[in-house]
Amino acid sequence: MLINNNYKWFIEESSHDCKHFHALSEVIYNGVTKFQKVEILNLKTYGKALVLDGRVQSAELDEFIYHEALVHPAMITHPYPEKVAIIGGGEGATLREVLRHNCVKEVVMIDIDEEVVNLCQEYLPTIHQNSFFDSRVKLIFADARKYFEETKEIYDVIIIDISEPLAGSPAYLLFTQEFYQIIKNHIKENGIISIQSGTTNPEENKLYLSIYKTLQSVFPCLHTYEAFTFAYYTSWGFITASFQHHPEKLREEIVRERLAQRNITNLRFYDEITHQLLSFLPKYLRDSINKNPERIILDNDPVYAI
């Protein structure tokens, strides 16, 4: 914390040479679980926020941008997703967005940290909006990698919403080629995976490009896009991976029809127009993807966000 101008400040280190300062209204919770440091803060600009290992995960003001971008392009691209798995997503917002699709019959959410989920249930109701208590939801508190190594379940959509890989964090083994090969065996032939992939900032996109290259070594069809997330102060990358889907080719009228069929009417970021816009990347990012000097991420050769 830094005391200055009568404010207390939360300082987030986004890289070794860049820090973001958030003026604080209140520290709601501050503790350490078995897996990570957890803070729930009330930021003067962004409202209540979940912070894990010193990095903002979600904030009330703009979390809808990140979560709608992560969930809906993949869910709408699939013609009729009934069975969905979410890896991570402890604050319940990814779950909230999946449940908007009335065709969904079952959602399995696998999160390693039960304490974080319980804290979010208690302190962040405006974010999860009671999604945890929907009858279609099954919560599993386990290592997602172990779960998928052992389960025989097959899903229409798998959404990976985990924190960035940091040294010492268990998350780093959920970004590797070996893990994606495991996941590949748990989606149907017409299934699709959506993955949060880190910042696309040209100075800090090593992780993003490495995830892309790693997924490219496992799946034949990738679609990458970005959305600016204000609480992160940067654009954030997302990638879908599948055997056959090309979200960028989905026509505007199909997106509009599927949203209407699923009775999804109250989104704030995503619609048929946004879906089309998400297919247009800036030139620097297209060039980086085409050149892609980064390496494939392996269990014994990981890549970290910092």
From the list 53, 161, 271, 301, the catalytic residue is 161
- Count of C-beta atoms within a 10 Å radius of residue 52: 24
If pLDDT is split at 50, 70 and 90, which confidence band does 2 have?
very low
Q: Which amino acid is at 135?
A: S
- Which residues contact residue 4 at a Cβ distance below 8 angstroms, ignoring those fewer than 6 apart? none
If pLDDT is split at 50, 70 and 90, which confidence band does 5 have?
low
Over residues 21-49, the pLDDT tens digits come to 999 999 999 999 999 999 999 999 999 99
Q: Would you say 258 and 91 are in contact if contact means Cβ atoms under 8 Å apart? A: no
If pLDDT is split at 50, 70 and 90, which confidence band does 166 have?
confident
Sign of CA dihedral 179, 34, 151, 93: negative
Over residues 227-265, the pLDDT tens digits come to 999 999 999 999 999 999 999 999 999 999 999 999 999
Q: Which residue has the tokens 């390496």?
A: 295
Query: Which domains does the chain show, CATH number per domain?
Result: 2-56 (2.30.140.10), 63-291 (3.40.50.150)
Q: Is 161 a catalytic residue?
A: yes
Amino acid 123: pLDDT:
98
Q: At what angle do helices 63-77 and 252-261 cross, to 10 degrees?
A: 100
Amino acid 159: pLDDT:
98
What does the pLDDT average to over 287-302? 91
Sheet of 187-199, strands arranged across? 137-141, 106-111, 83-88, 155-161, 187-199, 234-242, 221-229
Put simply, whether the predicted model's pTM sits higher than 0.85 gets the answer yes
What does the pLDDT average to over 115-138? 98
How many percent of the chain have pLDDT more than 70?
A: 98
Task: Report the relative pairing of strands 221-229 and 106-111 from DSSP bridges.
Answer: unpaired
